[in-house]
Amino acid sequence: SSHEHKLNFRKSKEACLSYIQDALLQKQWKRAAEFLTCYVESLEKDYSRELIGPSEMIWRIGTEILWHHSQSSMKEFNCFMEQMKTLGVKRYLKVCLEHVFHLLCNGQIDEAYQNLSLAESWRFGEQTAVQDKEMKLIEAYRGLLDYYRWYKQKNILLEHSEDGFSDLAVEQEMHGYFRKAAVNLKEIIKIPGVWDVFVKCYVDLLEFYGDHNEARQVLNEYAYNSKFPANPNAHVYLYQFLKRQGESKKSLISALKILHDIVPSHELMIDFNTMLQKSKKRKKRRLGLEVIFAALDYAGWKENAKAWSCLARQVKQIVISEKHLDWIKQEWNSRKDWWPAFHFSRYLAKRNWQENKSLSYEKALVAGILLGKDCKYFRYVSHQGCKAQLKRFRMLKKFVNRHNPVYLRISG
């Protein structure tokens, strides 16, 4: 009966698919390709109402095989992709986009550009609206490629101007690329998402043409619009822009303060700390201490000598001036039950000493002040340092011993 036939057909189709899957997962591309030629038959009698139909499967599997098959060529790949585009209207733009990606990764930028332009003009009734997201991406990527062309022209122009003559045609072309790129890039970065590349390029364009207000607005929007994800890069770009613009310390600090609130472990926290330490305001210096303590809470900073030297410097300053010991005390309060095991264990003392002497020096200074001269870390490192007759470490020992009462005040 036809029902049975359908069942059998489905079964053999599934079996074939599982063989292909098996071959793919074992990187047996040749075998997979052979099975795929059999599987193509399933297109003829497509009874399935599943979300991923056979045509999509063939596209995905075929692409994967062609990526890896030893005998495949770019020409074959392009040919296959063109066929796949015609095979399914529902994912036409997605296939286009993937095709473009492959071309880009293989350095065929011009072909990719052509494909993007073609895809951009694709219209297919309702389907165009359904695939709106892909369409926006296609436009954005074309904008990106336009940007790269603009960039190239700009460099040519800059070289020429150094040589002392201007090329009007090149300049015209460059402005043309700018317009094309700007239109498309502007569109995509309005939609919530992660658009680091597009934002960077767009801001670069704007800055070149002196539209700083627009650039600032774009970056502010990208960083502070609550519909966008909390992307640390958005704040970094804003900070870098402000820095380029020569903005006041205050606005730089406020930009970094927000980054600190989102990602206390960001690498810019070192800059932030140095900036704050230099400040004359007590509040700012206080914040600086907080920032560096918070950064060192993270496992990724454990062995960051720079961060430890920042902390050591500030702690040393406070101890010498004997003012604001309560700052240290407050920071230390929420950490004293786990920092000793996390940072100042004997095991770490040994390892840090072996791997990075200056790190162990900074850490020993902090440990000596926070935990007193009897702490394991300080004792081990200062002992090793004195044994190795390093002057620095002898000074360190003296310093900590002299300021040991501080420890009592902090821990008390």
Partner 1 sequence: MEFPAALFPSYFGAGPPREEGGPAPVAGWGEHGQVLEGGPGRRQAQPAFVPRRGATGERWEATDAAAVPVLLPSAGCWIPSPAPQDILYRSGLCKKLRAGKSGATLDFARQLGHFFVDHPEDAFGSLGQLLHKNFYLGNSKLKVTVSRNSTIRMTALVEDIDRLEARRGCPRQHLASRLRWFSHLCRDWLFEVPLGLLADCLHEELMQQWSNLLFDDSLTGGALAWLPPEDGGTPVGRLVHPGGQAMNHLYFQDVALEELPRARGSPAQFELSGRVRQVAAARVDGEDFVGVRSDYHCGVWRVPGRTGAAPTPLQVIRTDVPASCLTVSPHLPGELSVCTQSGTVYLWSVGTGLQQLRHDPQTMFFRDHSPWRWSDFTAHPRVLSCADRTGLQCLDARAPKKCHFDLFKVGEEAGCQQGERVVLPMYLGRAHPSQYLVTTQFSVYVLDERLPLVPVLKWAHMMKAPPLFAHLMPGNPGRSHQVLLGASRTQELLLLQYRGGSQSACQLAGTPQKLHSIGGCLQHLPTQLPHRQHLLQQRLTAPAAGLAATLQEDGPHKSMLVFQLSEAGDVFCQRLTHKAAQPPAPPSRDEATTAPGSSPLFEAPASSPQGLGAAALRYHRWLRALSRACRESPRHTWHPSLSQRRLFTRRDLQGPAGPSNLQRQMRQRLHQAMQEGGRIQRWEPSAIQPPPLPQTLEPAGGPDPLSARLTAAWAGDWEQWWEERTSFSVAQRQRALRERRRRQKRARGHRSLSASFTSSLTYQSELSELSDAGPPLLSPGRPPILSQEGSPPAGSPAVRSPPTSPVPDEALLSSQSLRCRGIPKERRKTLRDYLSVWAEGPPEPPELPGSQASQLCIPSSQSQLSSASQPRRKRPRMGF
Least CB distance to partner 1 at residue 79 (A): 16
- The count of residues interacting with partner 1 (CB under 8 A) is 77
Least CB distance to partner 1 at residue 366 (A): 17
Task: Let me know: does 203 contact 218? Beta carbons within 8 Å.
Answer: yes
**Which residue in the set 102, 260, 379, 397 belongs to the binding site for partner 1 (CB under 8 A)?**
102
Does 25 bind partner 1 (CB under 8 A)? Our answer is yes
**Which residue in the set 125, 299, 387, 408 belongs to the binding site for partner 1 (CB under 8 A)?**
299
Q: Which of residues 131-170 bind partner 1 (CB under 8 A)?
A: 133, 137, 140, 144, 148, 151-152
Does 258 bind partner 1 (CB under 8 A)? Our answer is no
Quote the tokens at residue 209. Answer: 């043409």
Does 178 bind partner 1 (CB under 8 A)? Our answer is no
Taking CA atoms, 29 is separated from 15, 17, 20, 35, 65, in Å, by 17, 14, 9, 10, 6
**Which residue in the set 16, 17, 130, 386 belongs to the binding site for partner 1 (CB under 8 A)?**
17
339 versus 361: smaller Cβ distance to partner 1: 339
List b or e across 303-335, with b for residues whose CB sees 16 or more CB atoms inside 10 angstroms: bbbebbbbbbbbbbebbeeeebbebbbebbeeb
Least CB distance to partner 1 at residue 77 (A): 11
Does 409 bind partner 1 (CB under 8 A)? Our answer is no
Does 130 bind partner 1 (CB under 8 A)? Our answer is no
Instruction: Pick the closest to residue 216 from 226, 207, 228, 225 (CA basis).
Output: 207
348 versus 410: smaller Cβ distance to partner 1: 348
Least CB distance to partner 1 at residue 353 (A): 14
**Which residue in the set 57, 87, 206, 276 belongs to the binding site for partner 1 (CB under 8 A)?**
57
- Of 41-49, 105-113, 310-318, 323-331, the window that binds partner 1 (rule: CB under 8 A) is 105-113
Terminal-to-terminal C-alpha distance of the chain: 89
DSSP letter at 388 equals: T
Taking CA atoms, 14 is separated from 8, 20, 71, 157, in Å, by 10, 10, 27, 59
Does 191 bind partner 1 (CB under 8 A)? Our answer is yes
Does 338 bind partner 1 (CB under 8 A)? Our answer is yes
Other Cβ atoms within 10 Å of 179 Cβ, number: 12
Taking CA atoms, 127 is separated from 121, 123, 245, in Å, by 13, 8, 45
Least CB distance to partner 1 at residue 191 (A): 7
Q: What is the largest CA-CA distance in the chain?
A: 97
Q: 204: helix, coil or strand?
A: helix
Task: Let me know: does 332 contact 296? Beta carbons within 8 Å.
Answer: no
**Which residue in the set 55, 61, 252, 372 belongs to the binding site for partner 1 (CB under 8 A)?**
61
Task: Let me know: does 188 contact 136? Beta carbons within 8 Å.
Answer: yes
Least CB distance to partner 1 at residue 346 (A): 8
Least CB distance to partner 1 at residue 156 (A): 11
Does 207 bind partner 1 (CB under 8 A)? Our answer is no
176 versus 232: smaller Cβ distance to partner 1: 232
Least CB distance to partner 1 at residue 325 (A): 22
Q: Long-range contacts for 175-178 (Cβ within 8 Å, ≥24 apart)?
A: 177/146, 177/147, 177/149, 177/150, 177/153, 178/150, 178/205, 178/209
**Which residue in the set 30, 243, 392, 409 belongs to the binding site for partner 1 (CB under 8 A)?**
30
**Which residue in the set 233, 274, 317, 330 belongs to the binding site for partner 1 (CB under 8 A)?**
233
Does 265 bind partner 1 (CB under 8 A)? Our answer is yes
Least CB distance to partner 1 at residue 313 (A): 20
Task: Let me know: does 374 contact 347? Beta carbons within 8 Å.
Answer: no
Pairwise CA distance, residues 206 & 219, whole Å: 11
- Of 40-48, 195-203, 320-328, 358-366, the window that binds partner 1 (rule: CB under 8 A) is 195-203
99 versus 397: smaller Cβ distance to partner 1: 99
Per-residue x/- track, 352-391, partner 1 (CB under 8 A): ----------------------------------------
Task: Let me know: does 55 contact 87? Beta carbons within 8 Å.
Answer: yes
Task: Let me know: does 198 contact 191? Beta carbons within 8 Å.
Answer: no
